Amino acid sequence: MKEPVFSKATLGRLPIYLDYLRTGDHGEYISAAEISRALGLGDVQVRKDLNSVSGTGKPKIGYKTTELIAALESVLGRKAATPIVIVGAGKLGKALLDFDGFDEYGIKISAAFDVDKRLLCDRILPMDNFTNYCRLYDIHAGIITVPAACAEEVCDIMIKSGITAIWNFAPTVLNVPENITVCQENLALSLAHLTMKLRK
């Protein structure tokens, strides 16, 4: 069965549903209308989101609460978090390493790596250990937070180490094989778009 594909907006709402369902006593069944009223969201949107996760609820009854919670946990990876590594432990890399909001999406930043020995500590490891670490802990996703001049080399090391999904913060386009997924994050461009809206 093909895995459902969720939009960024939907993925942003799923943890909200899960947190709501985990708090209070909602009974054996809960409806999309009840959830939408409690969270201030549109009824149609909530129903569409929940159907994509758990299938259609029972007419006039809703979704079985325990099954809906389990389905949301499965989608968000709450049962088994996906481990991810960072290369580049400067200010941005360290901020991502310390950010605890990834837990909401079933993601765990397990370690960061850097060539600067002054930065090394329990969670920031030497770059020489990168490939062995990824293979030992079965890591398949990585974050690049190094200068643009180093990004391509880091990308090549990641791919050789078994990583197939990369979140790239370096301001450069990476050359990767077709089987590698890259999400390009340009912070300066995002801020430029925001300031352009202020001028309108």
* 200 is an annotated ligand-binding site residue: no
Cα 154–chain centre separation: 21
* 80 is an annotated ligand-binding site residue: no
| 69 close to 29: Cβ distance less than 8 angstroms | no
* 93 is an annotated ligand-binding site residue: yes
How many CA atoms, within 13 angstroms, populate the side-chain half-sphere of residue 84? Answer: 23
* 48 is an annotated ligand-binding site residue: no
Rounded Cα distance between 153 and 119, Å, is 20
Q: Pull the structure tokens for residue 141.
A: 């996703």
* 89 is an annotated ligand-binding site residue: yes
* 90 is an annotated ligand-binding site residue: yes
Rounded Cα distance between 78 and 107, Å, is 8
Residue 64 pairs in a beta bridge with 29
Feature table: binding site for NAD(+): 88-93
Feature table: binding site: 88-93
